[in-house]
Amino acid sequence: MKIQRITLREIRMPLVTPFETSFGRLTDRRMLLLEAEADGVAGWGESVAGEGPFYASETVETAWHILRDFAWPILKGREIETAADVWDMLEVIRGHHMAKGALEAAMWDAEAKQKGMPLWKLLGGVRKEIPCGVSIGIKETLEELAATVERELAAGYQRIKIKIKPGKDVAPVDRLRHQFPAIRLMVDANSAYRLQDWPHLKRLEPFYLMMIEQPLAWDDLYSHAELQRRFDTPICLDECIHTADHARAAIELGACRIINIKIGRVGGFTPSLRIHDLCLAKQIPVWCGGMLESGIGRAHNIALSTLQNFSLPGDVTASRRYWLEDVIDPEVEVTPQGTIRVPDAPGIGYTPRIERIEAVTARKEILK
Ligand code: OSB
Ligand code: MG
């Protein structure tokens, strides 16, 4: 495989509903799409870098810079045996996983299309239907939150995750647990607490949550291990896990019992597969996280979620929860049982709608 050129596009789309986390409120998304032309086939990737360096240190701007000035020059003109080699070729670039992940994932899509097979099969997936949960942002009132949960349950979603932060934690969980005693419920703090807050977090224990996601700092495995020792509720790590080495350290330290894998956070499918395999061997369940992706990134998440150890519902949901109109055809839909049926068309299995993408493109650069 040889890549003839890549096209970077920044698209902008408003979210159907604003999304609030402990690090801020988001109403519009800027997303970097990457189209790689390899031997006449177009592979698509999406960088999940955000508008600002708040979830992670990368932004749309840094991803663009790294892709154009460092990643593309490495791959340009090179004969590539398989997409599985791309990660190692890009290893000289330290960090910048969301930038690299866009390019790496596009090459996987291109390879699957060239082989005429769905990406999920090329990855070694075993599931034709994936279980789905929703991630619900922080709401103004408990009534608004409860109404949102009710709507998502009615749509079929199999587990509910709510964002929490200091002052908006125990009361929302208490309310939901009383109203919905039997649902699978979890919380995500996006690093809003410190280890010394543990007695307060301990108040969440009676609500039999599936897990508490990323309560402490994004780079602090040690404190998560201290916290997990004091808790029966499993801790799930998101922000802390950037590499397979981090995953190994987290497991050995006892810093978590569950890991959320995001393709962009770890830099692509190859590192995602390595973390998946490691967790499988260590009996640590994983699930696929979401980053409010457009249909392109969503399609990659669906393919990844077909792997064996993705045994818990992920944050992978229908296009219409985020977008009035998505950039792929067909849009991602969820069954009344709260699952997504994995498409069998070659590559990501959904067709990018070029005219729709062009209509929301704010900037574009072709690199040859
Ligand atoms: O922590 O999982 C997170 C969105 C943006 C940044 C971080 C996170 C999230 C979500 C949304 O929880 C998941 C989704 O795409 O629905
Ligand atoms: Mg998270």
Per-residue pLDDT tens over the stretch 50-105? 999 999 999 999 999 999 999 999 999 899 999 999 999 999 999 999 999 999 99
Beta carbon of 326 within 6 Å of any ligand 1 atom: no
Helices 170-179 and 142-154: crossing angle, nearest 10°? 50
Q: Which of 152, 302, 315 to mutate to test the pocket of ligand 1 (most atoms within 8 A of CB)?
A: 315
Beta strands in 167-279 (DSSP E): 184-188, 212-213, 235-237, 258-261
Which residue of the set 139, 163, 168, 368 is catalytic?
Answer: 163
pLDDT tens digits for 136-183? 999 999 999 999 999 999 999 999 999 999 999 999 999 999 999 999
Long-range contacts of 351-360 (CB under 8 A, 24+ apart): 352/35, 352/42, 352/44, 352/295, 352/296, 352/327, 352/328, 353/327, 353/328, 353/329, 356/325, 356/327, 357/9, 357/11, 357/33, 357/327, 360/11, 360/12, 360/13, 360/327
C-alpha span between 34 and 210 (Å, rounded): 35
Ligand 1, atom 14: nearest CA belongs to which residue? 290
Is residue 262 among the annotated active site residues?
A: yes
- In this structure, what token pair is assigned to residue 322? 């985020």
Which residue from 147, 241, 165, 254 is spatially nearest to 204, judged by alpha carbons? Answer: 165
User: Among the atoms of ligand 1, which is closest to the Cα of residue 238?
Assistant: 1
* CA-only gyration radius of the chain, Å: 20
Give the 3-state secondary structure of 99-125: HHHHHHHHHHHHHHHHCCCEHHHHHCC
Q: Ligand 1 mean position to 293 CA, how many Å?
A: 9
Q: Which of 21, 29, 262 to mutate to test the pocket of ligand 1 (most atoms within 8 A of CB)?
A: 21
Ligand 1, atom 7: nearest CA belongs to which residue? 291
Beta carbon of 56 within 6 Å of any ligand 1 atom: no
Q: Ligand 1 mean position to 62 CA, how many Å?
A: 20
Per-residue pLDDT, 29: 97
Pair 35, 104: CB distance under 8 Å: no
Q: Ligand 2 mean position to 37 CA, how many Å?
A: 32
Residues of the chain with pLDDT > 90: what percent?
A: 99
Pair 253, 237: CB distance under 8 Å: no
Per-residue pLDDT, 325: 97
Beta carbon of 279 within 6 Å of any ligand 1 atom: no
Question: pLDDT below 70 — which residues of the chain?
Answer: none
Using CA of residue 111, residue 115, residue 117, residue 120, what is the dihedral sign? negative
Q: Ligand 2 mean position to 71 CA, how many Å?
A: 27
Per-residue pLDDT, 304: 98
Q: Ligand 2 mean position to 133 CA, how many Å?
A: 13
Residue 160: phi and psi, rounded to 5, are -115, 130
Which residue from 34, 7, 78, 1 is spatially nearest to 294, judged by alpha carbons? Answer: 34
Beta carbon of 20 within 6 Å of any ligand 1 atom: no
